[in-house]
Amino acid sequence: MAIRERLSGNEAVAYAMKQINPDVVAAFPITPSTEIPQYFSAYVANGEVNTEFIPVESEHSAMSACIGAQAAGGRAMTATSANGLALMWEMLYIASGARLPIVMACVNRALSGPINIHNDHSDSMGARDSGWIQLYSESSQEAYDNMLMAHRIAEHPDVLLPVMVCQDGFITSHAIENIELLEDEKVKEFVGEYKPAHYLLNKENPIAIGPLDHFTHYFEHKRQQAEAMRNAKKVILEVADEFYKLTGRKYGYFEEYKTDDAEVCIVVLNSTAGTAKFVVDKMREEGKKVGLVKPRVFRPFPAPEIAGALARFKAVAVMDKADSFNAAGGPLFTEITSAVLAHGATGPKFINYIYGLGGRDVKADDIEFIYNKLLEIAAPGKVDSIYNYIGVRE
Amino acid sequence: MAYNFKEVARKPERFTGGHRMCAGCGAPVVIRQILRALKPEDHAVISAATGCLEVSTFLYPYSAWKDSFIHSAFENAAATISGAEAAYNGMRRRGKLDQEGETKFIAFGGDGGTYDIGIQALSGAMERGHDMVYVCYDNGAYMNTGIQRSSATPMFADTTTSPVGRESQGKNQRKKDLTEIMVNHHIPYVAQTAAIGNLKDLYEKAEKAIYTKGPAFLNVLAPCPRGWRYEASDLMQINKLAVDTCFWPLYEVVEGKYTVNYKPKNKLPVVEFLKAQGRFRHLFKKGNEELLDMIQKEVDRRWERLLSLEASN
């Protein structure tokens, strides 16, 4: 029987890490992810795990130590937020380039400057092209589940890529919610042992990692990395299927909520999807045909699948909790609209709303406003503004 | 066992020929000798900072390293190896590594990757107490990118970012004393050495560093023929002059106790070291005698200070 508990997102992630019991955890304090290494070091102090915990002097060294540990043959994990992720930037690319299946908990927080400790997605969105698989989580339950699935995806021989499990800082990381946990033994069996084919500590077959790679080979290596990301699409679904059989909780590339007969749809990541579901329910009672699509997998980007899912709506609003500062639209919006165009879905009209930067509250009213805007466009009306902001004084 | 150069030199090579370091470069001599101090039954995991050593010894698909090797970036050789060492401890505790002999962890970085951009990762790893050796091969500038000044560049050296010009006599600042910074981390073993004579000092310090439990730091002089501007065949002479002028004293600090390993009977004036190198040529122009005098005073001050630290053990 599953264990019923009440945990915050950070506790849920730390608990997953305890059950996974990796060989090495290297982390540095930063709000709001810092509770994760705090909980974890208590597990170490109490002998509940036998992991080597490295209290590094920076996030750059956290990722560097994870790279050293994973290359050595161990399972390595870390957690960070915002500027911590930014300080790791250089090493994120090296971790994925070296094909090291490290797993990171990213507790989303706004990037400086100006400094702000609250939630938006500017940190992980900035890292979207670093070669990491990115899984997003609406609740502490999803953060926990994604953590349990992360190693299986990362370590698959056709993938061998690092995974970042994202959840919203404070909103999810610090709010206590009901959660269903798996028994330790079930987690152990599901996650399995890490058995790399090649690793530094194998004395019988020493290896070298991280060469100078000229134009004679670099491109082939990057092409292989791109292929691994394509392979990840299949593996993510296979692992989700196995997880469903174990828990009854179903995961795919994205979740659709009340989309069957919907005319208009909002696409939004993480905790805001929870608020949007509340609004969908309310507006459905009023007879309005509104629905929601919540992407879980942002890297690899499920382009044909999401384009296919959105093709049937009359109007779609993509909500971005990060701005691209490109004078064109947020990262989720530009990614979705290019997928839609490339895959020939010409039906829906698309608009973009940037919301919630630096932790600005997004209220049910804001989301209802966007749905009403979409219904207006679907009427049919015309799109008067593609790239918009909501909840900001301007 | 007394040091026997011939026996040591006959040990199997762990750093093979065919790498692309320059003729007359001090670094490969240092690396080979340090790796000879490993027991044959022991395996090593080696990390290197980005720099000449890394780009010249591991060009895909060739590696000059017989042991396991990892390069990840410029500033993090110490952090990277600390992760590998932690994995070793974690995996051994779980019985995942059933291998004979021990695995030793050694990081190599140039002065740029150690004194400058890598000092934070180095300091962190040393303070955390990993069982590892960090070796800085100090050639006194960013040689890999084309001889830019570092905090290890000696005063008045001509480099591409501290060039001699109408208003400049080369680098205008003193050389950072990294060995002393590492001593002040209160780690079990810190030494400064160079490849001189039959390489005994270097070998013995490498052996102590590798087989001392806990963090150890070696600062090794590694002249660069391109940056220092000397003939490739003069490498060993340059090393000897650095030591005989006390520009680069050989000493070690074991659990805080200083030993100066070599006190030249005839301490040569520093100009003997300087005039052998093109990077100091401008100092020998008429009117620059004062600058030479400043360098001599600085060398003397640091040497006297070192002797007094040894005396006050």
Q: Nearest Cα to A39, choosing from A81, A65, A7? A: A7
Separation CA B299–CA A300 (nearest Å): 59
Pick the CATH number of B5-311 from 3.40.50.970, 3.30.70.3040, 3.30.479.10, 3.40.50.2300: 3.40.50.970
Per the CB < 8 A criterion, the answer to whether A106 and A123 are in contact is yes
HSE (CB half, 13 Å, CA atoms) of A241? 6
Q: Does A343 touch chain B (CB under 8 A)?
A: no
Q: Do B128 and A201 touch (CB under 8 A)?
A: no
Mean pLDDT over the full length of chain B = 97
Q: Does A74 touch chain B (CB under 8 A)?
A: yes
Q: Chain B residues with CB inside 8 Å of A206's CB? A: 43, 65-69
Separation CA B63–CA A140 (nearest Å): 46
Buried b (16+ CB within 10 A) or exposed e, A123-135: bbbbbbebbbbbb
pLDDT at B101 over 90: no
Buried b (16+ CB within 10 A) or exposed e, A141-174: bbbbbbbbbbbbbbbbeebbbbbbbbbbbbbbbb
pLDDT at A80 over 70: yes
Which has more confidence, B175 or B99?
A: B175
Separation CA A108–CA A131 (nearest Å): 18
pLDDT per residue as tens digits for the range B162-199: 999 999 999 999 999 999 999 999 999 999 999 999 99
Q: What is the bridge-based pairing of β-strands B251-254 and B257-260?
A: antiparallel
Mean pLDDT of A380-384: 89
pLDDT at A78 over 90: yes
Per the CB < 8 A criterion, the answer to whether B105 and B131 are in contact is yes
Partner-chain residue, chosen from B54, B80, B89, that has the shortest CB–CB distance to A64? B80
**Cis peptide upstream of residue A304 (ω within 30 degrees of 0):** no
Q: Nearest Cα to A209, choosing from A70, A347, A1, A103? A: A70
pLDDT per residue as tens digits for the range A56-75: 999 999 999 999 999 999 99
Mean pLDDT of A171-184: 98
Best A24, A28, A194 member to test B by mutation, with max B CBs in 10 Å, is: A24
Q: Do B89 and A61 touch (CB under 8 A)?
A: no
Separation CA A276–CA A295 (nearest Å): 13
CA distances from A5 to A12, A49, A149, A182, A270 (A): 10, 20, 20, 10, 21
Per the CB < 8 A criterion, the answer to whether B243 and B182 are in contact is no
Separation CA B134–CA B215 (nearest Å): 8
Q: Please give the pLDDT value at position B99.
A: 81
Which pLDDT band holds residue B1 (cuts at 50, 70, 90)?
A: low
Best B62, B71, B80 member to test A by mutation, with max A CBs in 10 Å, is: B80
Separation CA A195–CA B165 (nearest Å): 59
Q: What is the bridge-based pairing of β-strands A133-137 and A163-168?
A: parallel
Which pLDDT band holds residue A1 (cuts at 50, 70, 90)?
A: low
Give Cα A31 distance to the centre of its chain: 18
Report the chain B residue with the minimal C-alpha distance to residue A96: B72
Separation CA B152–CA B142 (nearest Å): 9
Beta bridge partners of A167: A107, A137
The yes/no answer on whether domain A254-390 falls in CATH 3.40.50.920 is: yes
pLDDT per residue as tens digits for the range B247-282: 999 999 999 999 999 999 999 999 999 999 999 999
Separation CA A203–CA A367 (nearest Å): 58
Give Cα B196 distance to the centre of its chain: 13
Per the CB < 8 A criterion, the answer to whether B218 and B133 are in contact is yes
Q: Does A58 touch chain B (CB under 8 A)?
A: yes
Q: Please give the pLDDT value at position A381.
A: 82
Instruction: Give the A:B interface size as CB pairs under 8 Å.
Output: 170
Which has more confidence, A41 or A346?
A: A41
Separation CA B226–CA B223 (nearest Å): 9
Q: Please give the pLDDT value at position A200.
A: 98
Per the CB < 8 A criterion, the answer to whether A20 and A151 are in contact is yes
HSE (CB half, 13 Å, CA atoms) of A341? 7
Partner-chain residue, chosen from B65, B75, B97, that has the shortest CB–CB distance to A201? B97
Q: Do B60 and A212 touch (CB under 8 A)?
A: yes
Partner-chain residue, chosen from A56, A68, A212, that has the shortest CB–CB distance to B124? A56
Partner-chain residue, chosen from B58, B97, B127, that has the shortest CB–CB distance to A211? B58
Structure token pair of residue A39:
């909980």
Best B35, B45, B99 member to test A by mutation, with max A CBs in 10 Å, is: B45
Best A20, A194, A209 member to test B by mutation, with max B CBs in 10 Å, is: A209
pLDDT per residue as tens digits for the range B223-234: 999 999 999 999
Give Cα A299 distance to the centre of its chain: 8
Per the CB < 8 A criterion, the answer to whether B123 and B207 are in contact is no
pLDDT per residue as tens digits for the range B18-62: 999 999 999 999 999 999 999 999 999 999 999 999 999 999 999
Q: Please give the pLDDT value at position B260.
A: 98
What H or E segment, with its residue span, contains residue A309? helix A303-310
Q: Do B43 and A24 touch (CB under 8 A)?
A: no
Separation CA A164–CA B201 (nearest Å): 48
Per the CB < 8 A criterion, the answer to whether B108 and B31 are in contact is yes
Q: Please give the pLDDT value at position B98.
A: 82
Q: Do A203 and B43 touch (CB under 8 A)?
A: yes
Does the CA dihedral A373-A375-A376-A380 come out positive or negative? positive
- The phi-psi region of residue A160 (left if phi > 0; otherwise alpha if psi is between -120 and 50; otherwise beta) is left
Structure token pair of residue B249:
């004293």
Which positions 279-298 of A are in contact with B (Cβ < 8 Å)?
none
What is the ipTM metric for this complex? 0.97
Mapping DSSP to helix (H, G, I), strand (E, B) and coil, where does residue B46 land? strand
pLDDT above 90 as % of chain A: 98
Q: Please give the pLDDT value at position A47.
A: 97
Buried b (16+ CB within 10 A) or exposed e, A275-285: bbbebbeebee
Q: Please give the pLDDT value at position A344.
A: 81
Mean pLDDT of A222-248: 98
pLDDT per residue as tens digits for the range A325-377: 999 999 999 999 999 999 987 889 999 999 999 999 999 999 999 999 999 99
Q: Does A77 touch chain B (CB under 8 A)?
A: no
Task: Specify the CATH superfamily of domain A3-247.
Answer: Thiamin diphosphate (ThDP)-binding fold, Pyr/PP domains (3.40.50.970)
Segments making up each domain of chain A, as ranges:
3-247, 254-390
Q: Chain B residues with CB inside 8 Å of A102's CB? A: none
SS3 content of chain B, % helix, strand, coil (to 5): 40, 20, 40
Mean pLDDT of A156-170: 98
Residue by residue, DSSP assigns A97-156 as: HTT---EEEEEE-PPSSS---S--SHHHHHTTTSS-EEEEESSHHHHHHHHHHHHHHHTS
Residue recorded with tokens 């560049």: B153
One fold for A3-247 and A254-390: yes
Q: Do A23 and B65 touch (CB under 8 A)?
A: no
pLDDT per residue as tens digits for the range B126-163: 999 999 999 999 999 999 999 999 999 999 999 999 99
Separation CA B280–CA B284 (nearest Å): 8
Separation CA B43–CA B101 (nearest Å): 7
Residue recorded with tokens 């930067």: A357
CA distances from B186 to A57, A375, B79, B80, B123 (A): 17, 69, 19, 22, 11
Structure token pair of residue A332:
């989720």
pLDDT at B246 over 70: yes
